[in-house]
Amino acid sequence: MSESIRAATVLPARREDVELTTEDGLTLVGELALPATGDPAATLVFLHPLPTHGGFMDSHVIRKAAARLPALARLATLRFNFRGVTSPRGTSGGSFGEGIAERFDLLAAMALVRERALPHPWLVGWSFGTEVALQHGLDQPVDGLILLSPPLHRTSQEALARWAGRGVPLVAVVPELDDYLRPAEARARFAAVPEARVVAVDEGRHLWVGERQVARVLSEIVACVNPEALPLPTYWPPAS
């Protein structure tokens, strides 16, 4: 018998607590989730919102993506706490690095992706996490970037333009009612990168509160990395 997928739903997956070791000697805590059977079609490396404003690896969109997408879309998900951040999983070493030292955190996550031979990695940043992806992801072997609610506070126009001509897709999912960057301004800023695409979400807000907004965000992620899995089921097990 199928049941509706709700906010607290956790679908079957192979889940493993992992530790990441940074080049500057810190240990970061995280979780790797794989489809319950078979190989993943692609990999999502999540970079969470601002730690000084409550962001962590369990920020709700990231937690729900890890709970659902291995089953619904055959995706691997890697989520972790940036340096100095605490969640129920534990506390990562170090202290907040203002988006600069977090470069080492991203490198450690990508090292795990390589070690586990996880396929087709995409960086998925949310708010502060988008700044880490844009500033430090340029030389990483990723298939693309998905930017949820990008504020572009720490990313200069010059830094953004460095992505132009790299052949790496950038998809910015921008809420209509965002507190920091709304669709019209986002289109103007991202025009510096021909590969970039801005997806405007009507009635969306920076924190993507509510199951309807979460479902939209997860669908936009899957549309980038494994569109054959769309539309995402709303019941589990899905109807045959």
Question: For position 240, what pLDDT does the model report?
Answer: 64
Which structural domain, as residue segments, surrounds residue 156? 3-236
Query: Reduced to 3 states, what is the DSSP secondary structure of residue 201?
Result: strand
Phi, psi values for residue 91, rounded to 5°: -115, 130
pLDDT value of position 27: 98
For the chain, the domain total comes to 1
pTM higher than the cut 0.85: yes
What pLDDT does residue 1 have? 81
Q: Which segments of the chain are extended strands (E)?
A: 3-4, 14-21, 27-34, 42-47, 75-80, 86-87, 90-91, 121-126, 144-148, 170-175, 196-201, 235-236
Picking from 71, 77, 74, 79, the residue whose alpha carbon sits closest to that of residue 11 is 71
Which residues in the chain show pLDDT less than 50? none
Q: What is the CATH number of the domain that holds 180?
A: 3.40.50.1820
Q: 55: helix, coil or strand?
A: coil
